[in-house]
């Protein structure tokens, strides 16, 4: 038998020796998930003895983490915009920087008239972007598009968990190909934007475990921006908003693509690290 304190000390040491960036945090998050308790529980209950089956399950989780698998895939969920999303290896892990796009769109929606807004999310993955918007904006309809059937399954579960399925439509499609002829007030996307030749330079956690199809943006990383910007004109209302997450060095290039594609009011929004992270514009 081993206590909570002993298990956390031992696992933290192993993770630190494995060059983990946040060994104690990871150890506590995994154990908290296993025991279904908050991390604060460990402060008061450090001397609690764990059952053998709990220790065995924890060791399995530790093995996966030591191999480099992201915590979100191990525990099966990730917090985003204060909401809890189901996550598996068919979808990208939602990241805090992406919240910048969601926050902008939420503010934009709140400043619109009292109409019901029609919102499209291209490459929705877990649905984190669109569903977070839908959870915060009552008067909207959401169309979530992905080329991956497995990703759409995840998004559907998340919509059900958030209790907003009634205003969500799911479409299996390569960008706009299978979308019915309709107009949207807002189109958002966090498309693949890593240049193909840079994929192997990514952290092991990303390049080995996250879906490559959600990362690879073609030779220069701009392949999907070109496609979406070109085709979105046929699906946006006049003055409709288009918003992208972008790579840290892609602000100017994506802005140029938007300007050349017939959009104005183009803005580049920076993340907390002061890097370009979001580009938005309106269809002329």
Residue-wise pLDDT tens digits, 44-101: 999 999 999 999 999 999 999 999 999 999 999 999 999 999 999 999 999 999 999 9
Which domain covers residue 236, as residue numbers?
A: 90-283
Query: Among 32, 67, 102, where does a domain finish?
Result: 67
- Are residues 59 and 113 located together in one domain of the fold? no
pLDDT at 154: 99
- Are residues 20 and 146 located together in one domain of the fold? no
Let me know if residue 257 belongs to a domain: yes
pLDDT at 278: 98
Let me know if residue 208 belongs to a domain: yes
d(CA 10, CA 234): 58
pLDDT at 241: 98
Instruction: Find out whether 124 is annotated in a ligand binding site.
Output: yes
CB 233 within 8 A of CB 241: no
Instruction: Find out whether 97 is annotated in a ligand binding site.
Output: no
- Are residues 42 and 161 located together in one domain of the fold? no
Which CATH number characterizes residue 208's domain?
3.40.50.150
Radius of gyration from C-alpha coordinates of the chain? 21
- Are residues 196 and 235 located together in one domain of the fold? yes
CB 110 within 8 A of CB 179: no
Instruction: Find out whether 123 is annotated in a ligand binding site.
Output: yes
Let me know if residue 39 belongs to a domain: yes
Which CATH number characterizes residue 20's domain?
1.10.8.10
pLDDT at 126: 99
Instruction: Find out whether 190 is annotated in a ligand binding site.
Output: yes
Let me know if residue 115 belongs to a domain: yes
Let me know if residue 179 belongs to a domain: yes
- Are residues 11 and 107 located together in one domain of the fold? no
Instruction: Find out whether 191 is annotated in a ligand binding site.
Output: yes
pLDDT at 163: 98
Instruction: Find out whether 193 is annotated in a ligand binding site.
Output: yes
d(CA 184, CA 56): 50
Let me know if residue 199 belongs to a domain: yes
Residue 236 pLDDT class (50, 70, 90 cuts): very high
Q: Report the number of distinct structural domains present in the chain.
A: 2
Query: Residue range 120-128: average pLDDT?
Result: 99
Instruction: Find out whether 240 is annotated in a ligand binding site.
Output: no
Query: Residue range 192-209: average pLDDT?
Result: 95
Instruction: Find out whether 281 is annotated in a ligand binding site.
Output: no
- Are residues 178 and 231 located together in one domain of the fold? yes
- Are residues 269 and 141 located together in one domain of the fold? yes
Q: What is the mean pLDDT of the chain?
A: 97
């Amino acid at each position: 038998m081993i206590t909570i304190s002993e298990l956390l000390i031992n696992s933290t040491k192993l993770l630190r020796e494995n060059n983990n960036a946040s060994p104690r945090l990871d150890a506590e998050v995994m154990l908290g998930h296993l025991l279904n308790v908050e991390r604060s529980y460990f402060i008061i209950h450090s001397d609690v003895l764990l059952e053998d089956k709990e220790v065995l399950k924890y060791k399995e989780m530790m093995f996966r983490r030591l191999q480099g698998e992201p915590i979100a895939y191990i525990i099966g969920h990730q917090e985003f915009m204060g909401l809890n999303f189901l996550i598996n290896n068919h979808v990208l892990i939602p990241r805090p920087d992406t919240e910048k796009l969601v926050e902008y769109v939420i503010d934009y929606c709140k400043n619109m008239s009292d109409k019901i807004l029609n919102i499209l999310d291209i490459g929705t993955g877990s649905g984190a972007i669109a569903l977070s918007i839908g959870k915060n904006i009552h008067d909207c309809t959401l169309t979530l598009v992905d080329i991956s059937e497995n990703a759409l399954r995840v998004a559907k579960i998340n919509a059900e968990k958030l209790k907003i399925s009634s205003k969500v439509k799911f479409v299996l499609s390569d960008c706009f190909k299978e979308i019915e002829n309709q107009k949207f007030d807002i189109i958002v996307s966090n498309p693949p934007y890593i240049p193909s030749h840079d994929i192997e330079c990514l952290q092991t956690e990303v390049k080995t475990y996250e879906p490559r199809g959600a990362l690879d943006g073609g030779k220069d990383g701009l392949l999907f921006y070109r496609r979406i910007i070109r085709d979105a004109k046929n699906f946006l209302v006049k003055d409709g908003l288009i918003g992208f997450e972008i790579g840290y060095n892609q602000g100017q290039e994506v802005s140029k693509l938007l300007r050349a594609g017939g959009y104005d009011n183009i803005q580049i929004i920076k993340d907390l690290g002061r890097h370009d992270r979001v580009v938005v514009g309106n269809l002329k």
